[in-house]
Structure 1
Amino acid sequence: MQAEERRRAILDRLRNADAPVSAAALARRFSVSRQIIVGDIALLRASGADISATPRGYVILPAATGLVRRVAVQHGPDGMEAELNAMVDQGCTVVDVIVEHPLYGQLTGPLQLSSRYDVQQFLKRCASADAQPLSNLTEGIHLHTLSCPDGDAFDRVRETLRKLGILLPGQES
């Protein structure tokens, strides 16, 4: 299989996937190295493909449905599980995490967490990776983009985060 043909097949695989697809899975599927897949993804992105890398693999994200809002929080590493569960328990998807870096400006990490299972898998990867959460760069201050079924779900998220003591003040509406 030629490189261009493989890239088209990767794009088709991602468009038809029900869940994120890891670089390792794509490498096995196309009998190439993981690094070749990473390069293919970079070339696909450069040609305009809207591919996101999530902690679980590559996805082509569907347009957000429902209400899309952001929430600002601050907590240490020990507050991450409670924070994420507070969001998914209300039926919201945690689309991403955003921090403001002094050198690079806004840094965004796609998450796509929709359930406690997703949260647990993310936390397992955090524990096994030799990396720190983006919020460590900003003394724990960060934003999350949420896709919520409605305004009531978003209000419940904010109330739960407020009770946990991690919602930044001034987010009444």
Structure 2
Amino acid sequence: MVQKKRKSAEERRTIILDLLKSADDPIKGNDLAEKMQVSRQVIVQDISLLKAAGKPIIATSQGYLLLQKPHAHSITKMVACNHTISETEDELTRIVKCGVTVLNVTVEHPLYGEITRSLMIRNLNDVQHFIDNLEKSGASLLSSLTGGVHLHELEADSSEKLDRATASLKEAGYLL
């Protein structure tokens, strides 16, 4: 029986970074752990060390993602929204149906100040995954800290798409 030599921590982090660079979608920590034949906690530590070394890795509800430089033709816009938890799926669906990505969510907390978390919701599949995770986890949305008020940073390849998404949010009564 041939025993595989365990990779060094540095080799493992290099492989993790390469996997994230080549991935189109986020990679779950459990999947990285399985591939590297280590525990998920080791992956969490590796990701923390990579972040500390300046690698632009973010943790989303779908897994880890390496932030790529935005395309020269992408445009971003901040929108202020307010809605109930039950309207979350409709809000996100309205945005992505316009060809717009929801980059993140931000709330203004009275004690901690601004809290921003990455979302990277690009399509209807991402919306459904987010909603499924919300329901399964029983977790609260960040906007529950602020009575439903929150900001989204949106990204698209044209101002027309951003305008359509904003108009759709306004039509639903979600824009502040």
Q: Note whether the superposition's TM-score is higher than 0.5.
A: yes
Distance in structure 2 (CA, Å) of the matches to 1:116 and 1:17? 19
TM-score normalised to structure 1 length: 0.94
Structure 1 distance, partners of 2:150, 2:70, is: 21
Return the offset for 1:112: 0.8
Unaligned runs of 5+ in 2: 1-6
Deviates more, 1:21-30 or 1:109-118: 109-118
Partner SS, residue 117 of structure 2? strand
Letter in 2 for 1:45: K
- How many pairs does the alignment contain? 168
Per-residue CA distance 1:91-146 (angstroms, 9 max, x = gap): 00011111111122111111111111110111001100132111101100001111
For 1:115 and 1:10, how far apart are their aligned partners in 2?
Answer: 25
- How big is the alpha-carbon RMSD for the aligned residues of Structure 1 and Structure 2? 1.0
Alignment partner of 1:10 out of 9, 16, 28: 16
**Distance (whole Å) between structure 2 residues aligned to residue 39 and residue 163 of structure 1:** 44
* Runs of 4+ displaced beyond 3 Å: none
Identity over aligned pairs, percent = 43
> Greater CA deviation, 27-36 or 144-153?
144-153
2:97 corresponding residue in structure 1 = 89
TM (norm. structure 2) is 0.92
Q: Give the 5 Å matches for 1:28-43.
A: 28-43=34-49
Could you tell me whether the CA contact under 8 Å between 1:69 and 1:147 is conserved in 2? yes
Gaps of 5+ in 1: 169-173
Residue 143 of structure 1 aligns to a residue in which SS? strand
Query: Which shifted more, 153-162 or 133-142?
Result: 153-162
Q: CA deviation at 1:63?
A: 2.3
Q: How does 1:149-164 map to 2 (within 5 A)?
A: 149-164=157-172
Partner of 1:111: 119
Larger of the two Rg values belongs to structure = 2
